[in-house]
Amino acid sequence: MKRFWKSGDPFIWLSGGALALSLVMVAGLVVLVMMNGLGFFWPSPIARLTLADGKELVGQVVQREKIPQPGAPQGTPERYRIQVRVGNRDLYGADFVWVEEANIVRRDFPPDALLIERREWGNLYGFIKEVRDGERVVAQGSGDGWNALQTYLPGETETFNEIRRIEKREIGAINHAQEKIRLEIKKLGLRGPDGSPEVARLQQELETLAARYREHAASLAELRQSSRRSLVVSAAGDKEKELPLAQIVRAYRPDAMGLLAKSRLYLSRLWEFVAGEPRESNTEGGVLPALFGTVMMVIIMSLFVAPLGVLAAFYLREYAKQGPFVSAVRIAVNNLAGVPSIVFGVFGVGFFIYLIGGSIDRLFYPEALPTPTFGTGGILWASLTLALLTVPVVIVATEEGLAAIPGGMREASLALGATKFETTWRIVLPSVMPSILTGLILAMARAAGEVAPLMITGVVKLAPALPIDGFWPFVHLERKFMHLGFHIYDVGFQSPNVDAARPMVYTTALLLLLVVLVLNLTAILLRSRLRKKYTLSII
């Protein structure tokens, strides 16, 4: 036994086993997230279920589970139930129903069963009854109706997009300008009463803006008027629903689709998820604002954390006199990484938002008060809070890199007549760059996944505008933003329709993983490029 232990084999098995276990757990997590997330976009078939009591259900089967029968005698046959997404929330009240399999007498997949993704109220399942243009019926029945739908839908969608564009861009710009002028007027008022000619000029400008607004409003009304085609759908349970075509995001008949068409639909839904705006309180549509907010926040954080951490590490390792005090500082920095992130969040609120943000508001934006500009949560403060949270990681990694640089290299440089700063700048910094990037990679990964401190420093469920847009000064660091991590929490646990939102949780988690992966890969590539530059580098 002793020989066996001494031989070292058990240690190899133990270490290998530990690695394998970790890998299995990580792989399991990723596979779970991938399966649940990516499967969601695939158009699964629509089933029509006829129940024993004569009722009919039309929808997609989501899952199947055993019904627990506590206390049943041995040998009782097992019973199963399935969950069906029947949609039509506005008609039935709930999206999902559970059906016991024993109660189903017939199950078929009608090829003309239609699934409509709506802009509001979730999915609609049913069969086309007729297509109308205003009051006039233009097509009847599933076949003709489907063709008519194909003809009219693109035009209606275009009109809808045009309406959205005018609302967001044109009217948005007018609102923005109006707000600025109002603040300007208020500012003049704060300075004293003698700004009257200026105020008059600004009032004049407001008038022109209001006129422009009226023009746009008129064209909007016209567009809305022109979009009057609608679809009448008969749904299971003898219900009927009339739906304006403009309300349709997508309409398709999964049971009549081939593999190619399904794949195309899959990609289109996937793309909508990544590049689209959220709908229905985030449970449908895309996550672009959250994706954008996450990446932007991580980048801003990196811009702060990299110089801060690197400089601090340089001072600690290169300049400070090593002794008990520096050791204490080092231990404190390391322990900072273990402080619960929410505490950093609280600090961020107290220090960044109230103290610094509040002061900025008082000094530079007095005209907007009491509405805070910087004195409220925003992407800048969230990034700074996270920078504070992750700075120990960068410090530790950089310090380790500095410690690994042979002392002989510094001496060689000094012996050539370089000053300490020249040595640091030309020799030490390039050599420690890979370690700095390693630290940054860890910091970014940590920041991208952090949620708790963000919830109180600037993340919101739905941000009205991205932190970067077309209005001067283009980058709006004071704005609130959306974040994938918070999105997961919000959609998964705060939404009224948890069942419908569940796939979104997985897909968003998957996307967050991908974001972290991409950010890390970029840094890793950069690092290996740096390393290659010095081939057999010692670090």
Partner 1 sequence: MVTRAEAALAERRGDLSIKGSENGQKALAPAPSDLRMQDQTVGATTIMEPMIEIRKLSLKYGEKLALQDISLDIPKHQVTAFIGPSGCGKSTLLRCLNRLNDLIDGVQIGGTIRIGGIDINDLDLEITELRKRVGMVFQKSNPFPKTIYENAAYGPRIQGIQSRAALDEIVEKSLRQAALWDEVHDRLHESALSLSGGQQQRLCIARAIAVEPDVLLMDEPCSALDPIATAKIEELIAKLKKQYTIVMVTHNMQQAARVSDYTAFLYLGTLVEYDLTKQIFVNPSKKQTEDYITGRFG
* Residue 363 or 536 with smaller CB distance to partner 1: 536
CB of 533 to partner 1, least distance (A): 7
**CA-based radius of gyration for the chain:** 31
Helix %, strand %, coil % for the chain, to 5? 65, 15, 20
Report in angstroms how near the CB of residue 443 gets to partner 1 at its nearest. 24
CA–CA distance, 292 with 277 (Å, rounded to integer): 11
Smallest distance from the beta carbon of 181 to partner 1, in angstroms?
54
* Cβ atoms of 353 and 346 closer than 8 Å: no
- Shortest distance in whole angstroms from residue 434 CB to partner 1: 10
Give whichever of 72 and 404 is closer to partner 1, judged by the CB atom. Answer: 404
The residue among 64 and 426 lying less far from partner 1, judged by its C-beta, is: 426
Nearer to partner 1, 197 or 408 (CB): 408
Q: How far is CA 116 from CA 85, 119, 231, 241, 302, in A?
A: 13, 10, 11, 12, 43
- Tell the smallest beta-carbon distance from residue 401 to partner 1 (Å): 12
Q: Which residues pair with 66 in a beta bridge?
A: 80
Decide: helix, strand or coil at residue 73: coil
CB-based contact 145:128 (threshold 8 Å)? yes
Give the Cα separation of 443 and 279 in Å (integer): 32
Q: How far is the CB of 319 from partner 1 (least distance, A)?
A: 12
Distance CA 379, CA 475 (A): 11
Tokens, residue 197 = 């000619």
Q: Which is nearer to partner 1, 330 or 446 (CB)?
A: 330
Nearer to partner 1, 423 or 507 (CB): 423
Q: Is 454 helix (H, G, I), strand (E, B) or coil?
A: helix
Q: Of 371 and 419, which CB lies nearer to partner 1 in the complex structure?
A: 419
DSSP 84-112: EE---HHHHS-SEEEEEGGGEEEEE--TT
Per CB under 8 A, residues contacting partner 1 are: 321-322, 406, 408-409, 411-419, 422, 426-427, 430-431, 533-539
Q: Give the residue from 33, 39, 79, 29 showing the smallest Cα distance to 62.
A: 39
Nearest distance from residue 437's CB to partner 1, in Å?
Answer: 15
